């Protein structure tokens, strides 16, 4: 490349860089919104110019993050620390809400799953408590009947034994 052309390109680049820096300072001073597109438009350069020159891009992003001297809505000064505190509070609230949403989604999933299971006919009947009480009553009745049967059997065995003894006694007398 010809040295004069190289020097011309460097001078042009330097002029554009200076226009970008001036545009960033003016936007910060005037309180206008700062973005890469707005700065590029104000400086009369292409956005790619900012992306090719990382230092200018970082300067634009830093100015974009800097709060203005006055909050237009309230008229009170806004500091970087207060904005960071607000951001931290918003992130904490977001975390809490995310956890709550997951909890509610889990409960909803369980409720819908239970409902679908019951409606499918594969699940336990709705009157399961009544069936449990009936099972308990029948088990108790079974225990009582088994006990009565054992008692009757033992009485029957005793009666048979007494009958055998009497029969034997009569046969020996006779």
Q: What is the pTM of this model?
A: 0.40
Instruction: Note down the domain range covering 102.
Output: 78-123
Q: Which parts of the chain sit beneath pLDDT 50? A: 71, 74
Residue 45 falls within a domain, yes or no? yes
Does residue 153 fall inside a structural domain?
yes
Position 94 in a domain: yes
> How many other C-beta atoms are found inside a 10 Å radius of the C-beta of residue 39?
26
Count of the separate structural domains present in the chain: 3
Q: Annotate 123-169 with DSSP letters as a single string.
A: SPPTTHHHHHHHHHHHHHHHHHHHHHHHHHHHHHHHHHHHHHHHHHH
Beta strands (DSSP E) in 12-171 are none
Q: What is the pLDDT of residue 68?
A: 60
Residue 125's contacts (CB-CB under 8 Å, 6 or more residues apart) are 131
Whether residue 154 is found in the same domain as residue 171: yes
- 113: which 2 tokens? 């799953």
131 neighbors 125 (Cβ within 8 angstroms): yes
Give the model's pLDDT for residue 65. 79
Asked if the structure places residue 2 within a domain, the reply is: no
The Cα 41–Cα 105 span in angstroms is 46
Whether residues 66 and 82 share a domain: the answer is: no
Please give the Cα distance from 98 to 143 (Å, whole number): 55
Structural domain ending residue among the three candidates 37, 52, 70: 70
In a domain, 134, yes or no: yes
Residue 25 domain-assigned (yes or no): yes
39 falls within a domain = yes
Is residue 137 located within the same domain as residue 167? yes
Whether residues 29 and 43 fall in one domain: yes
Mean pLDDT, rounded, of the chain: 87
pLDDT digits (tens, 9 = 90+) for 46-77: 989 989 999 988 988 888 877 665 545 545 56
């Amino acid at each position: 490349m010809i040295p004069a052309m190289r020097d011309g390109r460097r001078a042009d680049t330097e002029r554009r860089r200076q226009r970008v820096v001036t545009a960033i300072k003016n936007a910060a001073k005037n309180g206008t919104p700062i973005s890469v597109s707005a700065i590029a438009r104000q400086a009369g350069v292409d956005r790619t110019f900012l992306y090719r020159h990382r230092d200018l891009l970082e300067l634009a992003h830093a100015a974009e993050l800097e709060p203005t001297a006055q909050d237009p809505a309230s008229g009170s000064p806004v500091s970087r620390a207060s904005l960071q505190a607000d951001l931290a509070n918003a992130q904490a609230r977001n975390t809490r809400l995310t956890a709550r949403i997951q909890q509610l989604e889990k409960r909803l999933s369980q409720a819908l799953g239970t409902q679908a299971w019951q409606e499918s006919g594969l699940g336990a009947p709705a009157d399961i408590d009544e069936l449990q009480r009936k099972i308990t009553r029948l088990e108790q009745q079974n225990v009582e009947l088994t006990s009565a049967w054992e008692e009757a059997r033992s009485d029957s065995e005793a009666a048979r034994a007494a009958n055998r003894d009497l029969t034997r006694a009569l046969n020996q007398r006779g």
